[in-house]
Amino acid sequence: MRLFAHLGYAAVSMRQIAAEVGVQAGALYNYTADKQSLLMSLMELHMQDVLDARQAARSEGTPLARLESFVKFHIGFHLARPDALLVSYMELRNLEPENFAKIEALRRDYENELERILSDGTAQGIFSLDDPKIATLAIISMLNGVVHWFRPDGRLEQVDIEEIYWGMVRRAVGATDWSDGSVCCLDKGAIA
Amino acid sequence: MRLFAHLGYAAVSMRQIAAEVGVQAGALYNYTADKQSLLMSLMELHMQDVLDARQAARSEGTPLARLESFVKFHIGFHLARPDALLVSYMELRNLEPENFAKIEALRRDYENELERILSDGTAQGIFSLDDPKIATLAIISMLNGVVHWFRPDGRLEQVDIEEIYWGMVRRAVGATDWSDGSVCCLDKGAIA
DNA sequence: ATGCTAACTGAACAGTCGTTCAAATCAATC
DNA sequence: GATTGATTTGAACGACTGTTCAGTTAGCAT
C-alpha cells in the first residue's frame, strides 16, 4: 500500500514489493494471483474498512449533526490511513473494468450517505444547496485533499483539522446553525 | 497529454505516444530528449498557460470580488483543459526532484494569489476563516475535483458549474456578502 | 536533375516487466 | 531422525521498456 501510494501502481514492480517485505518476487504468488489482484485486494479491503467503520460510527439526528459526524469521521479515519486514501482515489484507473465497477460501487455506497444528508438538509430548509449531488462531490474532494499536505508531525493536530474542515463545510452548505450561536441566513434580504 | 491523463505517465509507453501521433517511437526523440522531459514540458507549458491567463484575467477590487474572479477563472480555465489539470496534479510524483521543484514553485505562485485573497479578506473581517493557508488548499482541492466528474455533454453548462462552486466557496469562507442581497452573519448571536 | 537538410523508419540494444516452476529450505509431526 | 507439507528461492520465460542510430525517405532550393 505504501509503495502504491508513493510511486503509483504502474511504477511499482513485484520485485520492489517483494524486497519491501523481505522476500523474493516469486514468493508473492503464494498470496496473490497476480499484481492486479493485489491492488484489488488492497482497495477492496480498504473500502470495506471504511464502510464498516462508518456503519459503526453512524448516528441519527438532524442533518446538521449527521453532516458533522460524517465530515469528522471522514477526516479522522483517513488521516490515520493516508496511503489507503491516496491509492483508493488515484489508482482507480489501473483497475480492470470489472474490478473498477466493484470498487466504484463501494465508493458510491459511502458517498451516498453524504448525498442523503445534504438532500435531507436541503429538503428541510436547513441547508442551502443548489445541487446536493455536486455538493457531495465537492465536499468529498475538499476533504480528500487533506492527505496531500497532512504530516503527522505538523503544526496541527487531527482534532484541529477536523474542526477547521467542519467549519468550512458547515458554511459551504449554508447551514442555518442556530443552536450553537453562529448564524447564517438563506433568504435574500432577510436581514438587510 | 491525453494518454498521460487517462492511463498515467508510468503506464504509457513511448510507442503508444508515437502511435497516437502517427509516427514511430524513434521519431519522438527529435522533439524531446527523453520521456521525463516530455512530461516536464507538458506540465511546465500548462502551468505557464495558467499563470499567464490568470495574470490577464486578474483584477483589483474587494477580496470578495477577487475571490469570485479566481474561483470562476479556475473552473472555467480547467474545464477547457481537464487532461492538463489531471496530469498537473497526479503526475507530480513522477517528476524527477529538480523538475518537481520547478513545477511546485509555479503551482505555489498560482495558489498564492488565492491565499492572499483569503488573508486580505480575513484581515478586513469580510471572511471568517480560522486558517487561510488550509482554506486555500481546501478550496483548490474542491475546485480541482470537478475534472473527475465533468463531461462536456453532461446536464450542466460551464457557467452553471462556476455558479454552483462559487456559491459554495463564498459560503465556505464565511463571506458577509451584503451587496447582492444574500447575507451571512459571522458574529455569534448577531441575529438570534 | 541535383544536392542538401530535416524527418522518419525499423532494427537493435541492454534492461526490466509480470509470471512460472523445479529445486531447495523450513517447521512441525510422528 | 525420518517424513510430510507448506514456503521460499533462484533461474528462466517471453514480452515489453526507453533509447540509439545507420539507413531511408521527403521536401525544397538551386
Taking an 8 Å cut-off on Cβ atoms, the answer to whether A141 and B140 are in contact is: no
Distance from CA of B37 to the nearest CA of A (A): 17
* Mean of all residue pLDDT scores within chain B: 92
What average pLDDT does this structure show over B38-59? Answer: 98
Cα–Cα nearest to B113, from B161, B155, B71, B154: B71
Q: Is the pLDDT of residue A8 over 70?
A: yes
Residue B171's Cβ-count burial label (10 Å; 0-12, 13-18, 19+) is buried
- Calculate Rg over the CA atoms of chain B: 20
Q: Do A169 and A75 touch, CB atoms closer than 8 A?
A: no
pLDDT of B137-179, one tens digit each? 999 999 999 999 999 999 999 999 999 999 999 999 998 655 5
Cα–Cα nearest to A12, from A83, A104, A78, A100: A83
Q: Do A172 and A139 touch, CB atoms closer than 8 A?
A: yes
Triad B28, B32, B34: Cα angle to 5°: 95
Decide if B14 is inside a domain.
no
Q: Do B164 and A131 touch, CB atoms closer than 8 A?
A: yes
The CA-based dihedral angle spanning residues A90, A93, A95, A97, taken in that order and rounded to the nearest 10 degrees: 150
Number of domains in chain B: 1
Residue A9's Cβ-count burial label (10 Å; 0-12, 13-18, 19+) is buried
* Mean of all residue pLDDT scores within chain A: 92
Decide if A15 is inside a domain.
no
Taking an 8 Å cut-off on Cβ atoms, the answer to whether A185 and B185 are in contact is: yes
Does B171 touch chain A if contact means CB atoms closer than 8 Å? yes
Decide if A188 is inside a domain.
no
- Calculate Rg over the CA atoms of chain A: 20
Decide if B107 is inside a domain.
yes
Chain centroid offset of residue A27 CA = 33
The domain in which residue A143 lies consists of 34-172
CATH (domain of A141): 1.10.357.10
pLDDT (0 to 100) of residue B180: 57
Decide if B83 is inside a domain.
yes
pLDDT (0 to 100) of residue A178: 53
Q: Is the pLDDT of residue B181 over 60?
A: no
pLDDT of A57-105, one tens digit each? 999 999 999 999 999 999 999 999 999 999 999 999 999 999 999 999 9
Does B128 touch chain A if contact means CB atoms closer than 8 Å? yes
Helical segments of chain A, H only:
2-7, 14-20, 35-57, 63-79, 82-90, 97-123, 132-144, 158-172
What average pLDDT does this structure show over B43-72? Answer: 97
Decide if A4 is inside a domain.
no
Decide if B182 is inside a domain.
no
Distance from CA of A55 to the nearest CA of B (A): 25
Q: Is the pLDDT of residue A184 over 80?
A: no
pLDDT bucket at A175, cuts 50 / 70 / 90 = confident
pLDDT (0 to 100) of residue A188: 36
Give, as ranges, the nucleotides of chain C with any atom within 7 Å of a protein CB. 7-12, 16-22
- In angstroms, the CA A39 to CA A47 distance is 12
